[in-house]
Amino acid sequence: MDVVGVGLNATGTLIPVAHYPARGSKVEFRSAKVLPGGQVATAMIACQQWGLRARYVGTVGDDGAALLHRAEFARLGVEAHLFTASGCPSQQAFILVDDSGERTVLWKRDDRLTLRSEELDRNWIVHSRALHVDGHDTAAAAAAASWARAAGVPVIADVDELYPGVEALLKNIDFLITSRDIPGRL
């Protein structure tokens, strides 16, 4: 396996707008497209499309969005280990993108979607050439990063928020990708 991703997936509704709406305004949008996504899930799909062998590990709800993710991973050849949170909706996002390309993401994620470190199989991680995590499910990401580090597997993290316990993850990161405000908050 070339790369393993442990982290978020989300069903995103992409909504292009000419400009970001002013508070209290009504703005017509051009279209709306529902797509499978999420930080790590998107990265694994991209890696697979670029010719790498990719594995994804994460949690979905038991809804239509979960079926969409399962189908897309299968269609693209990503080896997916998806845990199902019963009676729970999958993570959802609405993404406003203006003409400049700037985006605003509105999201909702049920706590029952949390990936737990005990659900991970160490072999999924240590027998890869790279690990990619996002840190949202911090304990699971930290465990995976620790296993990868001990096995000499490089760890990449895409961190957009400083979640509780993220310090345990950051100490095992080789390559850190952040949103623009994170470096000043570290």
Q: What is the DSSP string of 105-169?
A: EEEE--GGGPPPGGG--HHHHHTSSEEEE-SSSHHHHHHHHHHHHHTT--EEEEESS--TTHHHH
CATH architecture, domain 3-185:
3-Layer(aba) Sandwich (3.40)
| pLDDT of res. 185 | 76
Nearest to 56 by CA among 74, 36, 80: 80
Q: Count of alpha carbons within 13 Å of 73, Cβ hemisphere only?
A: 27
* Residues ≥6 apart with Cβ < 8 Å to 167: none
152, 129 contact by CB (below 8 A): no
Instruction: In whole angstroms, give the CA distance from residue 110 to residue 157.
Output: 22
Nearest to 177 by CA among 161, 113, 163, 12: 161
- Please compute the mean of the pLDDT values over residues 12-28 and round it to a whole number: 92
| pLDDT of res. 157 | 95
| pLDDT of res. 183 | 77
Tokens for 115?
């990936």
Tokens for 144?
């995976």
pLDDT at 164 over 90: no
| pLDDT of res. 63 | 96
Measured in whole angstroms, how far is the alpha carbon of residue 94 from the centre of its chain?
15
Tokens for 60?
């979905």
136, 8 contact by CB (below 8 A): yes
pLDDT band at 181 (very low <50, low <70, confident <90, very high): confident
